[in-house]
Structure 1
Amino acid sequence: MEIITSHTNADFDSLAGMAAAQKLYPDARIVFSGSQERPLRDFFLRSPAARAVLPARLKDIDFSAVTRLVLVDTKSRNRIGRFAEMLGRPDLSVHIYDHHPFLEDDIRGEVERVEPVGATATLMTEILAEKGIGLTPDEATILMLGIYEETGSLAFASTTPRDLEAAARLLRQGADLNVVADFIIHELDAEQVDLLNDLLHSARTTAVGGVPILVATAERAHYVGDLALVVHKLRDTVGAGVVIAIAQMEDRVYVVIRSRMPEVDAGTLAAVVGGGGHRSAASATVRDATVSGVETRLLDRLRATARPLIRAHQIMTAPVKTIEAHRTLAEANDLMTRYGVNVFPVVEPAGNGGRLIGLISRETVQKSIFHALGNEPVETFMRTDVRTASPDTPLSEIEESMIEHNQRFMPVLENGQVIGAITRTDLLRAMHDFFLRATTPEGLPVEEGFPSRAIRRNVASLMAERLPGPLFSFLRSIAGLADRMGTQVYLVGGIVRDLFLGIENLDADLVVEGDGIAFAEAIVREVPGRVRPHKPFGTAVVVLDSGLKIDVASARTEVYETPAALPTVELSSIKKDLYRRDFTINTLAIRLSEGEFGRLLDFFGGRRDLKERTIRVLHDLSFVEDPTRVFRAIRFEQRFDFKISRHTKRLIETAVAMDLFHRLSGPRLFGELWLIFEEADPAKTVERLGDLDLLRFIHPRLDVSAEKLRHLARVKEALAWYALLFQEPPVRGAPMVYMTALLDQLEEADVLEVAARLSISPTDRGIILLPRRTAPSVLRTLSRRPPPAPSAVYEALSPIPIEGILYLLAGARPKSAQKAISEFITHGRFVRPPISGDDLTTMGIAPGPIYRRIMAELRAAALDGKPKGREEAIAWVKQKYGGSENG
């Protein structure tokens, strides 16, 4: 005899698994091992679809005659009732189909299909499809009930893509979603509401290893069905990350565990009392036990195995600026302003060990200076009752110390030395992260592009999907290198921003908390390549033999001594390194380490602004410190079709009113304009510069009219046309063509003034000025009727660099002039005389300036179609110059 069974207190996934198994074992009988959940009982009473399954009664089974036992949705010997008695018989073959992971004491089978999907019904649907076994609509409906119940209507975190694919397959085979809705979506009855009330009133939270565990208990003289449903309501009501519900009903203790925290595996915990399940959901039924006894066993197991969720070294800011005890309060005030900090750890002089002895706050410093005490040493008024943390101090202890003792800044010490600090911002971020992880519903999807809630998340899968394979493999390899060197390495900058925007970007920038050059040199010892270090800046360029180019830098902070000046750079932490950047969208970083590869750091709301398509500065003095950021803000706004935030726009207007841009050096301003002209559509950016009154900082008479924008658009068309020719690129490229067009409304004296202001080189000045000077006469020549001969076009255009010719093409009218210029670009400028100087020598013509004149005349003749070929050219020269003329 063959028997198909499942766990006691069977649910729809049990029924679905058994129904599918009967398609695989048509001679087997379905038998429930024990009770069923109430929705399942209702299904048999109310739904015509239940006729697809005809279970036998347990009491009618001759256990001694069973030769094959098929287990679905379970492999726990404690959850199959009397069927456990036959395990171990040599004549019994056990086949197992389940989606729960194996636990130590689980039954092992001759056949095992155990796979990590959201429901056993999913696994069975796939197996039937593999074997080409079809389903009736009623059977498909039963399997769909199993998937929907077990995955929370495909919304629980345990749901996999395979569950959705299986549901789609069942829908195609006739599954009735109306039936599914009738039995999956249901409210609590009066008894369950009363039970929920008792659980809520008994609920208490205890921290185990820094993880809050909600424990709720209740007792009933009679059985109340669907405890799991009640516990779901409890969890959703209180928003707990881990819930342990224990209910005494009749002579048994029922346990339901739900976990949203990766630190607590519900299935492993339930196994302590003979139950099972998976990481996020598990249950157990315990005989001969008490509620308090079961609770003690579960919590003892948690305490024995728990590890602190978050430790100080994971959330601290490092390195931290300190001040020696003998320094004055006035010096402390200057340093606080210089570095933008509010608290300094006070340390002994380095010669005395440099140990922490107190804290001094900005408030104390400024009040002391107000009272004319600025020359006093900081140790005079420092706070000495300071609570500190070690690198391994758990978050729960840090939280307690900082909140209960009103300490806004907690130094992290190792061997008495300050290695970092936890600020209120660090603490709030860690607590908020923990709260989100504990309360995010299981059904919340993991957004690959723009996760809106989680502070920390892993984007390794997104990297694998969107980065080129060689680059992703390289990043994977250096993660191991970083761990071996004991340093933190991050992927930063535009490549991370563009990863979320879905834009290809191969410019990989790495930031190292430590010696960036040493890390770059270590890379090329492991991966074939070469390194170019720049020691004054702590940066290096790694060029791999594979062609990959990687920029490596030490994490650093910048101090601006005066507005618009170049900054002083000092080594710092990743957080401060990101804080020095221009806009929030450029502050995202991805950790590259074996343990946390792909972990995203977002200290400043960069993902939010990417999602909201907003350009936002990090702090209010950003444009004062570096006015070039205004040009970058506009460039990014137009490139990505974002909007500058209202506050950032106000700061731009303030910078304009303060005339900060005149403090910029010419090369820096020219560099920003060059980058603008390298964009896909510079005209939009130039228009925005005009809107914000920024063009006057290039020249006060420079503005943007509608005609100017049309001219810039025609420059774009001309450059795009030229690019399609695949000819040699312009010597200086597109930016010089745009620059010439931008300045063409100005008088030549004004253009020279701009060139001096921007420190434009003499060569580039010539590229701008020559087409301006020649444009009127050239365009008159090219517009003549009848059209000029090709030789005349060549004479007019050949002295002008290609950038100037493209500028003329963009502004040329009428069409005949455009045609003449385009024919010169594609053909005329490449025409050469049919003979060479050697031929002239052979003809007896003495070398000299006459060679140049002859060759020019031959080129002109060739352009106009005569002479044709080498022989005619030789005859033409002989006729005109004879055979021995010296000129």
Structure 2
Amino acid sequence: MSFQKKDLTVITTHINADFDAMASMLAAHKLYPASLVVFPGSHEKNLRNFFIQSMVYLFNMADIRDVDFSDIKRLVLVDTRQPGRIGKFSSLLEKTDVEIHIYDHHPPADNDIMGHYEIIRPTGATVSILTEIIRKEEITVSSDEATILCLGIYEDTGSFTFPSTTEKDFMAAAFLLSKGAKLDIISNLIARELSLEQVGILNDMIQAAIRYNINGVEIVMTTITTENYVPDFAFLVHKIIKMENMSVILALARMGNKIYIVARSKTPDVDVGAILSPLGGGGHAYAASATIKEKALAQTEHELLEILRKKVKSSKRAKDLMSSPPIKVRPHVSCREARTLLTRYNINALLVMENIEGKDHILGYITRQVIEKALYHKLDAVPIREYMMAKLGTVRPDSELPEIQRKIIDNKQRLLPVVNKEMVIGIITRTDLLNMLVQESQYTNQNEPDPFNDPLHARTRNVTRFMRERLSKDMINILRNIGKVASELECGAYVVGGFVRDLFLYRANEDMDIVIEGDGIAFAKKYAAMLNARIHAHAKFGTAVIIFPHGFKIDVASARMEYYRFPADLPTVEMSSIKLDLFRRDFTINTLAIQLNPDKFGTLIDFFSAQKDIKEKAIRVLHNLSFVEDPTRIFRAIRFEQRFGFSIGKLTSRLIKNAVKMDFFKQLSGRRVFTELRLILQEENPTPAIKRLDDYDLLQVIHPSITPNQKLISLFNAVKKVLSWHDLLFLEESYMKWVVYFLAITRYCNEKISRDICEKLELAPRHSVIFCKERFEADKRLFWLKQNSPLTNSSIYRNLFSFRIELILYMMATTKQEKVKKSISQYVTQLRHVRTSLAGRDLKKMGIEPGPIYREILEAVLDAKLNGLLKTRNDELIFARNYVL
């Protein structure tokens, strides 16, 4: 069939059309209804099948062989403006009587086609641009058309996960969904299954992959050769980049006499569109392709590598790689003292600086190896100036990677100071550089972070909108004011820890911890004065508590780093930066921080992959000596695991077992163990945590006789049930939840063991008396109630009124007799609140002489009232008169 029509409008796209190209042609067809849709060449097999089987009726489509090019007066290009990508239609570009219209989302290139009419915008998919025009012009779109258009958006944005995705893509998809786009069809076409042939090709691509480090950026290149055309080659490239977690890949495939290149990038350091442009390819920064004829595969590889070396530059600068603040030492320090510093900070080299006329001057550096040799030769007391390396280059904060690489490698430097205005603001180590160059952490499947060796460069993003959704206006205002005051003092301010963690877990938490990079106490004083609040400061630790007039509290700490002199020691505190302050924390999930200074308000800072661990629901320590330094972290690990429904990581679990095996708890004070145990017992349901403590043999820390057998677990469940019942009474009375559970733990311990436990855990006397005396009295009374049930109300009252509420709840949970449980329940809800209206003065008015008789009468009146015999005050007066007659 031949199309003979003057002033013909043809819509076309690039060779090897994908879903975005196809969808864009359909959208353009809605804007140019009398046009023909013509493919310039082949299109993907999956795409072809889709047309044949379902929606080809939507297009006024023609075969390129049936079109008379002399009749074409308008050429509409979608999803491309590269002459080398439109096949035979490129011959029309020289004709002066052909009008060119272009709709594209690719960035500009040197050889772009110049259109008479152009709409070019940086969206994730070209069809998003055309959909916006359709929406504004109120053009009717059917459900099937909306499905095709939406399919193009989903594919070219990677279901809205590619970095090139924009707000306009989301808005276009939302509009198409409102027009009836079918997501089940879209998902079936996007989530394609691999054929056996494709699996084999994918395996060949993985095996052939070579990693190149080009100017500090790792780029993967893979090549395959096949006799026949491989359909869905771009789809296979998308698969491999996800499977192997690559940042940049260039896949070359020789198919017959042509070489097809598909490139994908997830980093702004590599613009694959610019990389493939010199080879006649096209695309944008994150996805591009090219087709090359009559060239050898090896030659093409070589040309690509040359282009990469010219165009790829890492965006990393010295300020991104450095550790700050720098750990420095004076030249007079002895070798023995230097080794102590190296061990304290877990580093392998020290920067040596000397203060001259009030300014620090770099003298050199000294390594752990040199120190160890000096100590081996009994040179402990010799100053390090005698053995330090004196030659030391420096860089500026904005120095690029090649300069850093040259100074560290060529000069064989262990340390590279970063200097800004004659002040050393940070240090880059060889390990920092090596990790940057090989990006090891990105390609190894590490289950646990290793903050000592990994480059600690924060992942950041602004979460202000999320904060506004999750927090009240008052809370946002408090955080903003904190940032303003800190900036006035030229300090950095951050809200950190559990507050931020729970924000992302959608849990309420008003325990606000603020870290100040600077003098936290000075900040607290100024902020408190502004709000007429009180503060309690602790100069030794650089901390303060701000107490608002209405009782709300904020904990403030100066950014600090802790080190431990020996296992289980209390930490020694030094001033430090926010990165080192976060590093001292217990688990990765507690290391998130949000900056509060006005210019960076709402910036989320994640040095230790906390967001990843929160998403994976994993409890992980920051370093392998964490439980050696502070064994109480084990209790917190179990508490967080059970509270959040997380799992303790494999390495962390192994470290817990090692800490228990080495018995680091013996050096802990009992008070610290008790503090953590009490927090566990205050959880909503502590039973699973108690079981986990036993999994690690940690109940032995309390006492060897404590084991979570079935009796104890049943008692814990009974306690939980009783406490839930009590809480639902809304009695507005406070009680110590942990006491009831701890009574359950010691339920089967004799007096000696109970006393030993209280002494070991260093319980306060007011608490010890509950477990060592009152609990045994409660057990005896409970036995009496069982033996004498049923009882009158007055008997119930007389047997229970002397016990505190915690013991009453313990008794209620312990008994298995429903009659006794009912009696205790009646006491809690009714009897304990009964009071007589009579008092001693009333008895005196009756002419009764004061004395022991008063108590006897009043107790008799109360008993009668408890038993329902007296209703009114007059009843009580009559009863009292009759009692003494």
Scaled to the shorter chain, the TM-score interval is 0.7 to 0.9
Q: Are the counterparts in 1 of residues 124 and 157 from structure 2 also a CA contact under 8 Å?
A: no
User: Are the aligned partners of 2:338 and 2:371 in contact in 1 as well (CA < 8 Å)?
Assistant: yes
Cα 1:340/1:100, change in 2 over 3 Å: closer
Q: 1:595 to 1:103 in 2, by over 3 A?
A: farther
Describe the superposition over 1:127-159 as per-residue Cα deviations: whole angstroms up to 9, x where unpaired.
4797553256xx678647745764568875545
CA 1:47 to 1:529, structure 2 compared with 1: closer, same or farther past 3 Å?
farther
How many angstroms apart in 2 are the aligned matches of 1:361 and 1:659?
A: 34
The one of 531, 549, 552 equivalent to 2:556 is 552
Partner of 1:720: 724
Residues 741-780 of structure 1: pairs in structure 2 closer than 5 A: 741-780=744-783
Q: Which residue of 2 aligns with 1:364?
A: 370
Structure 2 CA distance for partners of 1:433 and 1:848, relative to 1, 3 Å: farther
Instruction: Report the identity percentage.
Output: 36
- Report SS of the residue matched to 1:783: helix
Question: Would the alpha carbon gap of residues 121 and 315 (structure 1) be closer, same or farther in structure 2, given more than 3 Å must change?
Answer: closer
Q: List runs of 5+ in structure 1 lacking aligned partners.
A: 191-195, 218-223, 248-253, 441-451, 883-887
Which of the residues 262, 265, 289 maps onto 2:268? 262
SS of aligned partner of 1:347: strand
Q: Any idea what SS the aligned residue of 1:880 has?
A: helix
1:106 to 1:864, Cα distance in 2 relative to 1, 3 A:
farther
* Counterpart in the other structure of 1:469: 471
After TM superposition, list the pairs within 5 Å mapping 1:113-124 onto structure 2: 116-120=123-127, 124=131
How far apart, CA to CA, are the structure 1 residues paired with 2:759 and 2:230?
A: 86
Task: Please identify, of 773-782 and 804-813, the stretch whose mean Cα deviation from structure 2 is larger.
Answer: 773-782
Contact kept? 1:557, 1:572, Cα under 8 Å: yes
Q: 1:510 — aligned with what?
A: 514
1:677 aligned to which of 674, 677, 681: 681
Equivalent position to 1:567, from 558, 568, 571: 571
Q: Map 1:805-884 to 2 at 5 A.
A: 805-836=808-839, 839-840=842-843, 843=846, 850-881=853-884
Shift, 1:677, TM fit? 1.3
Provide the secondary structure at the position in 2 that maps to 1:681. Answer: coil
User: Distance in 2 between the 1:538 and 1:597 partners?
Assistant: 25
CA distance in structure 2 between the aligned counterparts of 1:215 and 1:537, rounded to whole angstroms: 53
Task: Give the one of 537, 540, 545 matched to 2:544.
Answer: 540
Quick one: distance in 2 between partners of 1:271 and 1:481?
51
| Distance in structure 2 (CA, Å) of the matches to 1:573 and 1:155 | 34
Query: Secondary structure, in 3 states, of the residue corresponding to 1:359?
Result: strand
| 1:251 counterpart residue number | none
Asked if 2 retains the 8 angstrom alpha-carbon contact of 1:411 and 1:421, the reply is yes
Aligned counterpart, 2:606: 601
SS at match of 1:344: strand
Tell me by how many angstroms 1:800 deviates. Answer: 0.7
Q: Is the 8 A contact 1:242 1:264 kept in 2?
A: no
Match of 2:585 among 573, 581, 586: 581
Over 3 Å counting, the alpha-carbon distance change for 1:349 and 1:841 in structure 2 is same
The residue type equivalent to 2:27 in the other structure is A
Q: Is the 8 A contact 2:220 2:250 kept in 1?
A: yes
1:513 shift after superposition: 3.3
1:43–1:183 contact (8 Å) kept in structure 2: no
Partner Cα distance (1:863, 1:578) in 2: 60
Conservation of the 8 A alpha-carbon contact between 1:231 and 1:256: no
What is the CA–CA distance in structure 1 between the aligned matches of 2:376 and 2:153, rounded to whole Å?
A: 70
Q: Give the counterpart of 2:668 among 660, 664, 670.
A: 664
AA partner of residue 133 (structure 1): V
Between 1:73-82 and 1:829-838, the stretch displaced more is: 73-82
Q: Deviations over 1:21-65 (max 9, x none)?
A: 433553x32476x945655999599947556323595745475xx
Find the counterpart in structure 2 of residue 390 from structure 1: 396
1:53 to 47, 60, 80: 60
* Deviation of 1:787 (Å): 1.1
SS of residue in 1 equivalent to 2:360: coil
Tell me the TM-score normalised to structure 1 length: 0.75
Superposed displacement of residue 704, structure 1:
4.4
Q: What letter corresponds to residue 601 of structure 1 in structure 2?
A: D
CA distance in 1 between counterparts of 2:657 and 2:42 reads 67
The range that moved more, 787-796 or 95-104, is: 95-104
Moved more, 466-475 or 551-560: 466-475
2:384 to 364, 378, 383: 378
The farther-off stretch of 101-110 and 638-647 is 101-110
Distance 1:148 1:809, change over 3 A: closer
SS at match of 1:419: strand
1:135-187 Cα shifts (integer Å, max 9, x gaps) = 56xx6786477457645688755456568765895447988978997999999
Q: What does residue range 213-228 of structure 1 map to in structure 2 within 5 Å?
A: none
Q: Mark the runs of 5 or more structure 2 residues left unpaired by the alignment.
A: 1-6, 224-228, 255-259, 293-298, 446-453
Aligned-pair CA distance for 1:751: 3.0
Report if the CA contact (8 A) 1:767-1:801 is conserved: no
Whether the 8 Å contact between 1:743 and 1:751 is mirrored in structure 2 is: yes
Looking at structure 2, the residues matched to 243 and 481 of structure 1 have their Cα atoms a distance apart, in angstroms, of 50
User: Counterpart of 2:335?
Assistant: 329
RMSD over aligned Cα, in angstroms?
5.7
Instruction: Note closer, same or farther for the CA distance 1:488–1:675 as it changes in structure 2 (3 Å cut).
Output: same
Structure 2 CA distance for aligned equivalents of residues 348 and 872 of structure 1: 92
224-233 or 574-583, larger mean C-alpha shift: 224-233
Aligned partner of residue 346 in structure 1, secondary structure: strand
| AA of the residue aligned to 1:469 | L
Shift of 1:735: 1.2
Q: Is residue 492 from structure 1 mapped to residue 496 from structure 2 by the alignment?
A: yes
Question: Structure 1 CA distance, aligned partners of 2:419 and 2:481?
Answer: 32
Q: Which moved more, 1:256-265 or 1:735-744?
A: 256-265
Paired residues, number: 826
Choose the corresponding residue for 1:319, options 303, 312, 325: 325
Pairwise CA distance, 1:757: 3.7
Once residues 172 and 658 of structure 1 are traced to their aligned partners in structure 2, the CA distance between those partners, rounded to angstroms, is 57
Amino acid at match of 1:861: A
Deviation (angstroms), 1:842: 5.3
Q: Which range moves more in the overlay, 858-867 or 506-515?
A: 506-515
Map Cα deviations across residues 847-872 of structure 1 (whole Å, 9 max, x no partner).
66655443332221111001222222
Does the aligned pair in 2 maintain the 1:141–1:176 contact within 8 Å? no
Aligned 8 A contact 1:812 1:818 in 2: yes
Instruction: Pick closer, same or farther for the CA change 1:400–1:775 going to 2, 3 Å.
Output: same
- Separation in structure 1 between the aligned mates of residue 107 and residue 331 of structure 2, nearest angstrom: 58
| 8 A Cα contact 2:131 2:172, kept in partner | no
Over 3 Å counting, the alpha-carbon distance change for 1:349 and 1:331 in structure 2 is: farther
Q: Aligned AA for 1:720?
A: S
SS at match of 1:736: helix
Q: Give the direction of change, closer, same or farther, for the CA distance of 1:173–1:656 in structure 2 (3 Å limit).
A: closer
Give the C-alpha shift of residue 711 in structure 1: 2.1
1:366-402 CA-to-partner distances (Å, cap 9, x unmatched) read 1111112222211111112333332222233323433
User: CA contact under 8 A between 1:463 and 1:499: conserved in structure 2?
Assistant: no
After superposing the two structures, state which structure 1 stretch, 148-157 or 704-713, moved more: 148-157
Query: How do 1:606-645 and structure 2 match up within 5 A?
Result: 615-641=619-645, 644=648
Superposed, 1:366-445 pairs within 5 Å as 366-431=372-437, 436=442
Compute the displacement of 1:321 (Å). Answer: 2.4
Q: Deviations 1:548-580 (Å, cap 9, x if unpaired)?
A: 754332221223334433222111233432332
Identify the match of residue 347 of structure 1 among 344, 353, 357. Answer: 353
The answer to which of 745-754 and 308-317 deviates more is 745-754
Q: Is the 8 A contact 1:555 1:577 kept in 2?
A: yes
Q: Aligned in 2, Cα 1:524/1:109: closer, same or farther, shift over 3 Å?
A: farther
Deviation of the 1:627 alpha carbon: 3.2
Q: For residues 764 and 577 of structure 2, what CA distance do their matches in structure 1 show?
A: 39
Distance 2:625 2:238 in 1: 49
TM-score computed with the length of structure 2 as normaliser:
0.75
Query: In the TM superposition, what is the alpha-carbon distance from 1:678 to its structure 2 partner?
Result: 0.8
CA distance in 2, matches of 1:810, 1:41: 66
